[in-house]
Structure 1
Amino acid sequence: MKRLGFLSFGHWSPAVGSPVPTAAEGLLQSIDLAVAAEEAGVDGAYFRVHHFARQQSSPFPLLAAIAARTSRIEIGTGVIDMRYENPLYMAEEAAATDLISGGRLQLGISRGSPEPALNGAAAFGYRPGEGETDADMARRHTTVFRRAITGAGMVPADPNHMQGGHTGMLPVEPVSPGLPERIWWGAGSRATAVWTAEQGMNLMSSTLLIEDTGVPFDQLQAEQIHLFHEAWQKAGHAHAPRVSVSRSVMPVVDDEDRRYFGLRGQTDQHDQVGMLDGTRSRFGKSYIGEPDKIAAALAADRAVQAADTVLLTVPNYLGVDYNAKLLGNMVQHVAPAAGWR
């Protein structure tokens, strides 16, 4: 059985006629979509996190609100940019959200993606140390965060505190059991996937890899997943790993779908190769068309078959009603035909 989730980029726009005209609508519709997704049988609701943009920027209030409105669906991120995070405060927020959800939080974190801000993390007060890169700083923050969510002591107790009697190291509170095994790293390369496995984090791989060997995207990503599993086994971690991949999938079943995606379905059917941050990168193709044809293509996608979780990147800018219909079509038509359920 394969888990099926959605990944929302959280866009909102004040443009005339926009179904998501304000930040408030973006948040409230995200909650409604998660509720509708759970009712449709979808397994996960995940959200991108971007700063200095009209998108979701503070995930924990949103995830806690979804947790309070749902009972089964996994809730998560894909991904939080760890350059921006205070690791101890994030540990408190993550644990509280996980407790509210009853242990359903699946937290995707990483170095982050290209952003509109120049030195955005520095504006938040975080700068790499001497000899560090931005990626080094993100990993350093991650190390502190992951230690904190285990309940480890993080700061010496003050023996002169008015309540007195405390000695040793104090943990941040609350602590949510099981959360350390539900941390995912967004890896954009095969080498980073190996590092992810060595650290004992789950692997989250998107529709973009910051490398290109000339083979189709799904084959390159399947190799990334294989190397992750090899490294995990070699590291000897006690718990089983999970792997997710993202895909842009648009079933075309009625005139509304054809109006939005019919033309794109005729042109956007191949991988793309380009430069990103000075690195030759490969972007995965979209899956657009009739449900049976999409199902057959997904069944032949090597990385999709190697992953236990598939995250569908939904066009949230089209509004909650359209996206609820899209997810319903995936559950009813595409997933069974692809052999996922």
Structure 2
Amino acid sequence: MKRIGFLSFGHWGPGEGSRTRTARDALLQGIELAVAAEELGVDGAYFRVHHFARQQASPFPLLAAVAARTSRIEMGTGVIDMRYENPLYMAEEAAATDLISGGRLQLGISRGSPEPARDGAAAFGHVPADGETAADMARRHTAVFRRAISGAGMAEAEPRYAGGGSGLLPVQPHSAGLGQRIWWGAGSRASAVWTAEQGMNLMSSTLLTEDTGVPFDQLQAEQIARYRQAWAGAGHQHEPRVSVSRSVLPIVDDEDQRYFGLSALREKRDQVGVIDGLVARFGRSYVGAPDAIAAELAADAAVLTADTLLLTVPNQLGVDFNAKLLGTVVRHIAPAIGWAP
């Protein structure tokens, strides 16, 4: 079954035309867009996490609010930077949010991406141990977090306050099944293989930190194939999920043309650049008439092989605009890639 969700970066600021001028605007509109998306039949509401920026930063209050206002739609992140996280506190927050949602939480996590702060994780009190890199620290935090949400004991009991008991106490609350709904944001073929070996779902975005000269969708499809092969080899007992992200901007009226008409002319190809010192390939945007986009997505190798497509939305254009965008995708584009309500 193919699922479709939206991915909001949660931008806010006083720019021209912005309908999210404050953080409150961005948060409340994120909730309202999730409600509208559920009414349209969309399967997921996902939010990017960035620190020290005018974007969403603390996802769990937002996700819990979405959970309380909806009944069917998944809610999740794409992605939480694990360099910044206290794993046990995050385990408490994640379990509580998942319980409120009735088991609909899908948590995308990763080692993080380039950011405005020079060493933001250190400002949060997290510094790599001797011999560790920041990426190592993120994976260490991830291992502790996943152990905590599994219900494993994490802290020695104090017999005076534990009814005379001893041993290790688990983090509370615990939400059964959450452990199978953790996704890792993998930016390369090698990290996708590691993700499979760890038993996490794969979240692949609109850029890969490598370039072999082939089109982005083909490189991403190869990444997904290697992930699934590694998953099978690891012997995990449940089926994994795989998501890809795409910028999909259908033009159906004068308003769309004003915002995206130029993009339709200049964003038809992949982009190759350098990020964190690595050559990276960035996926193209899909801009234009809905039937043309449908045909292009139906030929996208990675979209076809993934089970979940996340649509990056221009959140600063407001709830009504983005609900219109999602409605166009649901009615005129999504059926071409095998999605059905």
Task: State the TM-score, normalized to the length of structure 1.
Answer: 0.98
Matched, 1:283 2:282: yes
Deviation at 1:166, TM superposition (A): 1.9
Q: What residue is the counterpart of 1:181 in the other structure?
A: 180
Could you tell me how far apart the structure 2 residues matched to 1:21 and 1:47 are? 18
Alignment partner of 1:140: what SS?
helix
Matched, 1:196 2:195: yes
Amino acid at match of 2:230: A
Amino acid at match of 1:101: S
Deviation at 1:160, TM superposition (A): 2.5
Q: What residue is the counterpart of 2:130 in the other structure?
A: 130
Q: What residue is the counterpart of 1:92 in the other structure?
A: 92
Whether the 8 Å CA contact 1:98–1:104 is kept in 2: the answer is yes
Deviation at 1:16, TM superposition (A): 5.4
Matches within 5 A, 1:1-341: 1-15=1-15, 17-161=17-161, 164-341=163-340
* 250-259 vs 144-153, greater mean Cα deviation: 250-259
Deviations 1:164-188 (A, max 9, x none): 3121110000000100000000000
Amino acid at match of 1:286: S
Alignment partner of 1:248: what SS?
strand
Could you tell me how far apart the structure 1 residues matched to 2:122 and 2:72 are? 38
Could you tell me how far apart the structure 1 residues matched to 2:46 and 2:17 are? 26
Whether the 8 Å CA contact 1:75–1:104 is kept in 2: the answer is yes
Deviations 1:4-49 (A, max 9, x none): 0000000000235421110000000000000000000100000000
**Amino-acid identity (%):** 76
Could you tell me how far apart the structure 1 residues matched to 2:129 and 2:215 are? 38
Alignment partner of 2:153: what SS?
coil
Amino acid at match of 1:21: R
Whether the 8 Å CA contact 1:292–1:337 is kept in 2: the answer is no
Whether the 8 Å CA contact 2:304–2:337 is kept in 1: the answer is no
Alignment partner of 2:83: what SS?
helix
Alignment partner of 1:185: what SS?
strand
Alignment partner of 1:109: what SS?
strand
Q: Structure 2: 5+ residue runs without aligned partners?
A: none
Deviation at 1:320, TM superposition (A): 1.0
Q: CA RMSD in A?
A: 0.8
Could you tell me how far apart the structure 2 residues matched to 1:5 and 1:140 are? 29
Could you tell me how far apart the structure 2 residues matched to 1:224 and 1:188 are? 9
Could you tell me how far apart the structure 2 residues matched to 1:260 and 1:252 are? 9
Alignment partner of 2:297: what SS?
helix
Deviation at 1:159, TM superposition (A): 1.4
Amino acid at match of 2:114: P
Deviation at 1:310, TM superposition (A): 0.1
Could you tell me how far apart the structure 1 residues matched to 2:264 and 2:17 are? 24
Could you tell me how far apart the structure 1 residues matched to 2:336 and 2:49 are? 32
Amino acid at match of 2:332: H
Deviation at 1:263, TM superposition (A): 1.1
Could you tell me how far apart the structure 2 residues matched to 1:25 and 1:328 are? 22
Deviation at 1:134, TM superposition (A): 0.4
Alignment partner of 2:95: what SS?
helix
Could you tell me how far apart the structure 1 residues matched to 2:37 and 2:15 are? 27
Change (3 A) 1:296 1:128: same
Could you tell me how far apart the structure 2 residues matched to 1:216 and 1:80 are? 28
Deviations 1:84-107 (A, max 9, x none): 000000000000000000000000
Deviations 1:124-176 (A, max 9, x none): 00000000000000000000000000100001101122x53121110000000
